[in-house]
Amino acid sequence: MDSGSIPVLRQRASPRDPNLLLILPLPPPQSVHLINVARPMSRHVLQVVYDGRVFRSKTEARWACCFNALGVAYQHEPTVFRFERGEGRLAHYKPDFYLPELEVWLEIKNEGTRPPDLVACWKAHRLALATHQPVYVFFGEPMGLRTLRCGNAYRYDPHDGGVTRCHQFTQCPRCSRIDVAPYGLASGVRCACEWGEADFSNAGCVALVEATATARRHRFRTLGQ
């Protein structure tokens, strides 16, 4: 994306709230098209085969392995979104995962623990507004078990496109529902369980720990082997 088409990033933060709220001032998309055509993968990324699918990187495949270990249904790159960028230009976006049971989109950034550039994530912002569903941009450890300074995922709100940080996967210890919640706290799981003053973080979630360990141990087959 050329610099002339990137809007200025505005920030709004409360010094008392570490969950920094940032707003990308992009208007709702005027036109969104869904196309089911495959795009060629980059030759610079090691492609691997897992679960009968070809993944663009071992990082993405590890996430899929985690979902299988947790019993979370996933769709890998189910469709391509095409956004109008103005002046007759189009931008294509193929999110990494869609979780139908949670009704959320996931984008996996294979850049280690470095937070992604928010301006570069403008497509996730547009996707949330277009589909009316949350979009999470994850980085760092799978499932977000390792708490980073800026969290492990940005969440793009489907209503106003605002993005918040510090989101992680977690599990309700009462009903065992898996979900993405702020700071990985079980009280943020969308379930019917009631919580008092006590709360639980994903750091003590055995299912998540075992799922990530399974993904790390798995020997993925490189495409062409």
pLDDT at 14 over 70: no
pLDDT at 9 over 70: no
What does the alpha-carbon distance between residue 128 and residue 139 come to, in Å, rounded to a whole number? 18
Tell me the pLDDT band of 197, cut-offs 50, 70 and 90.
low
Q: Which helix (H) or strand (E) holds 72?
A: none
Q: Cβ(218)–Cβ(59) under 8 Å?
A: no
pLDDT at 135 over 50: yes
Residue 5 backbone phi and psi in degrees, to 5: -105, 5
pLDDT at 169 over 90: yes
**What average pLDDT does this structure show over 43-63?**
87
* Angle, in degrees to the nearest 10, between helices 58-70 and 206-217: 140
Q: Going by C-beta distance under 8 Å and a sequence separation of 6 or more, which residues neighbour residue 201?
A: 170, 183, 184, 185, 186
